[in-house]
Amino acid sequence: MAKFVKTVFCSNCNKNSNLFTHLSEEEISLINDNRHEVRFNSGETIFKQGGMLTHVACVISGMAKIYIEGHHNKNLLLKVVKSSELIGGPGLFVDFRLHYTVSALTEVVACFIDAKVYQEIIKKNPVFAFEQFKQINTYGINNFEMLTNLTQKQMPGRIADTLLYLSEKVYESDKFTVHINRQDIADLSAMSKESAIRILKEFKDSGYISCVGNDFSIHDIDALKKLSQTG
């Protein structure tokens, strides 16, 4: 069950988004007066696709996943979110709707900021707005690249991309314990769970990786990068 919490004043928080460094003390105070924190257990929904976008959220601690709920209960996992990352979505500037679902992978504390207040600050602070749109465009470029990879690469190349993403972007290590399950790995790679498990076994048998439960080690990153490049 999600619980309300309250910690430090925004300007004293070292877990907020780097975007907030571009805000004045007055703007920080405005955000602080129009926010609340919620603690979620693993598996709980933070944002639900199709709902109203009333708040943007900054992840204070923990990890979450962003995914699109497709047809026939098939999901496309877009991103693993870590602490200090801001979650909002394109609906903030279009229709105030949520266009993806966000759920907690671990215990997550998220700071919810009133969307209307956030939008007003963007309108009045051009530097903050520029950095916000730069971040949105970066996410867009990453999604374009991901879409190209998922539609043009064979399954081994897609699993290689997923392992490289987890290693380099999420856990920043060649040895890591994943907080996502095999279905999530499949959803990151746009394939069935059975296919993902089969290819992971092939990688393990080839000596590229080792994995026991959720513990992964990458032994031949060059082989994975070659598979990623050749598709």
CA gap 73, 128 in Å, rounded: 38
For residue 180, give the 3-state DSSP assignment.
coil
Backbone angles phi, psi at 27, to 5 degrees: -70, -40
Helix locations, the chain, DSSP H: 25-33, 115-124, 126-152, 155-165, 182-189, 193-205, 221-230
Which residue ranges form the domains of the chain, and what is each CATH number?
3-126 (2.60.120.10), 150-230 (1.10.10.10)
CA gap 59, 37 in Å, rounded: 10
Only one residue has tokens 């907020």, namely 16
Q: How many C-beta atoms lie closer than 10 Å to residue 139's C-beta?
A: 15
pTM of the full structure: 0.89
User: pLDDT tens track of the chain, all 231 residues?
Assistant: 655 555 655 655 655 667 888 899 899 889 989 999 999 999 999 999 999 999 999 999 999 999 999 888 889 999 999 988 989 888 988 999 999 999 999 999 999 999 999 999 999 999 999 998 898 899 889 989 998 999 999 999 999 999 999 999 999 999 999 999 999 999 999 999 999 999 999 999 999 999 999 999 999 999 999 999 987
Q: CA dihedral in degrees (196, 201, 203, 204; nearest 10)? A: 140
